């Protein structure tokens, strides 16, 4: 019969190939040959027994089964198959035991095999499993099971005299650095980056890396150039495994150019972004505390849209749909959070350098935002609304220095101190590795 066997150089069942297997003893010489169960060579009537689709609570599985020969070839004795191989595609590891039972394996054996396999299978994600079965006692006896995780690691389970034993299989993965370059279209940075081949999940990281140098809503326009370099793990067939990691981001606008390299400081849980000299790109404050918004009213004197007379507009208004996230512009302590007359739902933050930032007209506050709470730069503190004296959904954002309001889009904020010593040396080594990959894999 036709079975599935695996390439010894790869565990991933997606690389396994078909092989011809037969009975433990050769068929008598007088017996006519049995046609291979290749769908291309079987009469239409024989196709019904060639394969089956098994549905198990959202789990789809393709089963390779013995196929009876056409009636014209049925003369003469035919040896019974000694083993059968089937491949399953499961929605998750929890479906393994029920899939084995549905394939004819006794419930206690299925549970025992699944029990030893579970610790080596991922808690979430698709599982591909290949079973070797043997007909026994009117059912199927599980001889061997090989299952792979989404990252191509997995487990083999083998039946022995003392029951089932499991062995881990390491993922056969390689890492590639991919470089993508493009220019801004007249729609958005998102559409421009996707068109250039930047994976969409990386675009927020790209924007974050350069958010201290650029206001993507107002300072980036059609024709501006950008580059992204990201790292991707791949299996032996070159297929992507797991999420990519952005390593490098650069943007060249009409008036300035900035770039950032990803680097994890010793002992840090998360990576940070640095310019090519090792100076952190992070500033004390974000340029804007909201994404994908337009400035509907700037800082300065204006005719008040509700009161109808000239009045100093102490901040900047960002028009955005209700529910748009609002972020803390810097590390701070919450001084006030609650409704306050014309300000509507309002948050006031005191930053470590003594500056204050104010966020007005919110629709709602984020969980935990209350007086005395500490927030980190980029942490969501609420969402856009139109509470208080407001003509439409927007964020009114103010920045106060020494108690006086200043234009938040024009104030200059200082960068953190540059790296030094052994940490700087480690960063420069990583920077050079990224640059070599950019030069080699620019496409």
Instruction: For residue 418, tell me if it sits in a domain.
Output: no
CA–CA dist 158, 166 (Å, integer): 7
* Token pair 């004819």: residue: 104
The domain total for the chain is: 3
243 and 365 co-located in one domain? no
- Check pLDDT > 80 for residue 176: yes
* Token pair 């503190």: residue: 381
Instruction: For residue 439, tell me if it sits in a domain.
Output: no
Q: In this predicted model, what pLDDT tens digit does every residue of 358-417 receive, in sequence order?
A: 999 999 999 999 999 999 988 999 999 999 988 889 999 999 988 888 887 777 676 678
Q: In this predicted model, what pLDDT tens digit does every residue of 129-141 receive, in sequence order?
A: 888 888 888 788 8
CB 146 within 8 A of CB 6: yes
156 and 14 co-located in one domain? yes
142 and 202 co-located in one domain? no
Task: Look at residues 169, 194, 229 and tell me which one is the last residue of a structural domain.
Answer: 169
56 and 80 co-located in one domain? yes
Q: What is the CATH number of the domain that holds 259?
A: 3.10.450.350
Task: Look at residues 169, 195, 227 and tell me which one is the last residue of a structural domain.
Answer: 169
Q: Can you give the residue range of the structural domain that contains 130?
A: 2-169
Reported confidence tier of residue 60, pLDDT bands at 50, 70, 90: very low
Instruction: For residue 442, tell me if it sits in a domain.
Output: no
244 and 340 co-located in one domain? no
Reported confidence tier of residue 7, pLDDT bands at 50, 70, 90: very low
- Check pLDDT > 90 for residue 40: no
* Token pair 């029990």: residue: 115
- Check pLDDT > 80 for residue 312: no
Instruction: For residue 438, tell me if it sits in a domain.
Output: no
Instruction: For residue 416, tell me if it sits in a domain.
Output: no
User: 220: closest CA among 247, 182, 246, 274?
Assistant: 182
128 and 265 co-located in one domain? no
Instruction: For residue 193, tell me if it sits in a domain.
Output: yes
217 and 340 co-located in one domain? no
User: 63: closest CA among 43, 93, 37, 33?
Assistant: 37
Burial bucket for residue 375 (CB in 10 Å: 0-12, 13-18, 19+): buried
Q: What is the DSSP string of 302-351?
A: EE-TTT-SEEEE-SEEEE--TT-EEE-SSSEEEEEEEE-GGG-EEEEEEE
CA–CA dist 210, 223 (Å, integer): 18
- Check pLDDT > 70 for residue 37: no
Q: What is the DSSP string of 98-153?
A: HHHHHTTB-HHHHHHHHHHHGGGS-SSS-EEEEEEEEEETTEEEEEEEEEE-TTS-
- Check pLDDT > 90 for residue 47: no
In sequence order, the β-bridge partners of residue 90 are: 127
Instruction: For residue 426, tell me if it sits in a domain.
Output: no
Task: Provide the token pair at 399.
Answer: 């920045």
- Check pLDDT > 90 for residue 220: no
Look up the pTM and report it: 0.56
124 and 268 co-located in one domain? no
Instruction: For residue 217, tell me if it sits in a domain.
Output: yes
51 and 18 co-located in one domain? yes
Query: Average pLDDT for residues 309-328, to the nearest whole number?
Result: 82
314 and 179 co-located in one domain? no
Task: Provide the token pair at 319.
Answer: 């028009």
Q: What is the DSSP string of 251-281?
A: EE-SS-EEEEEEEPPTT-SS-EEE-TTS-B-
């Amino acid at each position: 019969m036709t079975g599935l066997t695996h390439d010894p150089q790869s565990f991933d069942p997606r690389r396994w190939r078909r092989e011809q297997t037969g009975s433990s003893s050769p068929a008598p010489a007088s017996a006519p040959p049995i046609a291979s169960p290749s769908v291309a060579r079987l009469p239409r009537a024989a196709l019904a027994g060639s394969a089956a689709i098994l549905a198990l609570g959202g789990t789809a599985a393709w089963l390779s089964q013995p196929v009876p020969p056409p009636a014209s070839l049925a003369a003469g004795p035919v040896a019974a198959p000694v083993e059968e191989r089937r491949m399953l595609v499961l929605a998750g590891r929890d479906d393994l035991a029920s899939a084995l039972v549905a394939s004819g394996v006794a419930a206690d054996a299925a549970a025992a095999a699944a029990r030893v396999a579970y610790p080596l299978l991922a808690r979430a994600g698709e599982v591909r499993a290949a079973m070797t079965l043997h007909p026994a006692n009117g059912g199927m006896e599980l001889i061997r099971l090989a299952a792979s995780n989404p990252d191509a690691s997995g487990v083999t389970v083998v039946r022995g005299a003392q029951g089932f034993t499991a062995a881990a299989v390491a993922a056969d993965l390689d890492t590639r650095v991919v470089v993508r370059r493009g220019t801004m279209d007249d729609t958005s940075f998102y559409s421009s980056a996707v068109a250039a081949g930047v994976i969409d999940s990386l675009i927020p990281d790209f924007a974050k890396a350069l958010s201290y140098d650029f206001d993507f809503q107002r300072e980036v326009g059609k024709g501006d150039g950008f580059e992204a370099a990201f790292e991707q793990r791949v299996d032996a067939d070159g297929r992507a495994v797991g999420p990519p990691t952005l390593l490098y981001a650069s943007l060249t606008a009409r008036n300035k150019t900035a770039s950032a390299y990803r680097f994890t400081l010793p002992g840090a849980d998360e990576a940070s972004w640095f310019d090519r000299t090792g100076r952190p790109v992070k500033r004390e404050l974000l340029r804007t505390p909201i994404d994908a918004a337009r400035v509907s009213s700037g800082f300065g004197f204006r005719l008040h849209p509700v009161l109808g007379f000239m009045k100093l507009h102490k901040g900047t208004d960002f028009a955005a749909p209700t529910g748009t996230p609002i972020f803390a512009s810097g590390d701070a302590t919450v001084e006030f959070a609650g409704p306050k007359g014309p300000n509507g739902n309002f948050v006031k933050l005191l930053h470590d350098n003594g500056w204050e930032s104010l966020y007005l007209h919110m629709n709602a506050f984020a969980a935990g935002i209350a007086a005395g709470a500490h927030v980190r730069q980029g942490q969501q503190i609420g969402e856009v609304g139109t509470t208080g004296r407001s003509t439409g959904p927007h964020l009114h954002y103010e920045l106060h220095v020494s108690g006086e309001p200043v234009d938040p889009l024009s104030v200059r904020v200082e960068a953190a101190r540059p790296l030094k010593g052994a940490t700087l040396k480690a960063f420069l080594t990583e920077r050079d590795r990224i640059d070599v990959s950019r030069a080699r894999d620019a496409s």
